[in-house]
Amino acid sequence: MRNQKALLNFLFINLIIASLFSCGVRKERTLFNAPSDIVTDTIKQVYVVNDQGISDAYYKIKVNDQLAIRNVQNFEFGATAGGSNTNSSSGSSQNTPGGSIQNVLSYPVDLDGKVNLPAIGKVDVLGLSRREAAIKIQDIYKTRLLKEPIIELSVVNLKVTLLGEFGKQGNFLLERDNTTLIDIIGEAGGISKTADPKTLKIIRGDRTNPELIYVNLNDINSLASKKLILQNHDIIVLQPTKSAATSDKLQSLNNILQPLLVVVNLAVLIFTVTR
């Protein structure tokens, strides 16, 4: 009887802890907290803090970008030519849809804004979109070397980082223009069973004064926001539900308190037997 009472008291204490610390526990487990994160419990669709406007949907090539280039009509062209190996790291299997840039060499954009390519030498690509650069390189190869080439170009150093309650975490490449949040979540295998869809946050831009984009994935109208077109170096964070965070915390407490409860129960049993 006394053992049952002790157990009931223990469960009651757990319930009190859960009610008092559910919010604090979730915040404790979440990376990159910000004062504005309190909006996640009330946000309807998309809410932006420190709005920096709508970025150009078409990425413009910059100095030090790594360009993977090949002729679609001849897959060996570009894969065996001189250059530096594509260098990419990811928490998933590189997340390259269709494997379109795997095993393709990449070429750096020099400080002068030019990329040095096999047979044709340096080509000025600074400030061009991926499509514009591909067409320019294609025309040069057609004029000097290849018959009817079809050039495919990817900027292989563009990536976003997913952290938290996703099917997979890590770095995901942005191979295409207009890659959306939903595209990347799909590549990551969706969200976990313990994820809170109202708490997704995108950290964008200057790390000393970033733009914060809060998204409620429960509302389909959120998908219409142009803010969900991803930019290079975006950090995407998704929190667990309060109940999931609290459950994990209570499990940790149970692991500590359970041996103590066993000792208390044993002491009560000994006291009862020796009376």
Give the pLDDT confidence score for residue 6 in this predicted structure.
Answer: 53
Q: Which of 121, 140, 155 is the last residue of a domain?
A: 155
- Report the predicted TM-score, pTM, of the whole model to 2 decimal places: 0.69
Q: What percent of the chain has pLDDT over 90?
A: 50
Please report the sign of the dihedral spanned by the C-alpha atoms of residue 144, residue 145, residue 150, residue 152.
negative
Q: Are residues 48 and 70 in the same domain?
A: no
Q: 197 lies in a domain?
A: yes
Q: Are residues 124 and 178 in the same domain?
A: no
Q: 20 lies in a domain?
A: no
Q: 256 lies in a domain?
A: no
Residues of the domain holding 110:
66-155
> Which residues have a Cβ under 8 Å from the Cβ of 179 and sit 6 or more positions away?
229, 230
Give the pLDDT confidence score for residue 228 in this predicted structure.
Answer: 95
Give the pLDDT confidence score for residue 84 in this predicted structure.
Answer: 42
Q: 260 lies in a domain?
A: no
Average pLDDT, the chain: 79
E strand or H helix at 124: strand 121-124
Q: Domain with 164 in it: what CATH number?
A: 3.10.560.10
Q: Are residues 102 and 123 in the same domain?
A: yes
Q: Are residues 134 and 179 in the same domain?
A: no
For 105-127, write each residue's pLDDT tens digit: 899 999 999 999 988 999 999 99
Give the pLDDT confidence score for residue 261 in this predicted structure.
Answer: 66
Q: Residue 275: pLDDT above 70? A: no
Phi-psi region of 33 (alpha: psi -120 to 50; beta: other; left: phi over 0): beta
Q: 21 lies in a domain?
A: no
Q: 255 lies in a domain?
A: no
Q: Residue 203: pLDDT above 90? A: yes
Q: Are residues 122 and 93 in the same domain?
A: yes
Q: Are residues 49 and 162 in the same domain?
A: yes
Give the pLDDT confidence score for residue 122 in this predicted structure.
Answer: 96
Q: Are residues 111 and 231 in the same domain?
A: no
For 9-60, write each residue's pLDDT tens digit: 555 555 555 444 455 555 565 677 888 888 777 888 999 999 999 887 789 9
Q: 5 lies in a domain?
A: no
Of the CA atoms within 13 Å of residue 66, those in its CB half-sphere come to 17
Q: 27 lies in a domain?
A: no
Burial 259-271 (b: 16+ CB within 10 A, else e): eeeeeeeeeeeee
190 vs 185: CA distance, rounded Å? 5
Q: Are residues 230 and 166 in the same domain?
A: yes
Looking at the structure of the chain, the number of domains it has is 2
Pick from 187, 184, 177, 246: nearest CA to 215: 184
Asked whether the beta carbons of 162 and 192 are under 8 A apart, the reply is no
Instruction: Quickly state the pLDDT bin for 138 (edges 50, 70, 90).
Output: very high
Q: Which of 140, 155, 170 is the last residue of a domain?
A: 155
Pick from 100, 212, 220: nearest CA to 155: 100
Q: Residue 89: pLDDT above 50? A: no
Q: Are residues 120 and 193 in the same domain?
A: no
For 94-103, write each residue's pLDDT tens digit: 344 333 445 5
> Count of CB atoms within 10 A of residue 242's CB?
19
Q: Are residues 51 and 162 in the same domain?
A: yes
175 vs 61: CA distance, rounded Å? 13
Q: Domain with 148 in it: what CATH number?
A: 3.30.1950.10
More confident residue, 140 or 76: 140
Q: What is the separation of C-alpha 212 from the centre of its chain, rounded to a whole number of angstroms?
A: 14
- Lowest mean pLDDT across 138-142, 168-172, 245-249: 245-249
Q: Are residues 106 and 51 in the same domain?
A: no
Q: Are residues 162 and 51 in the same domain?
A: yes
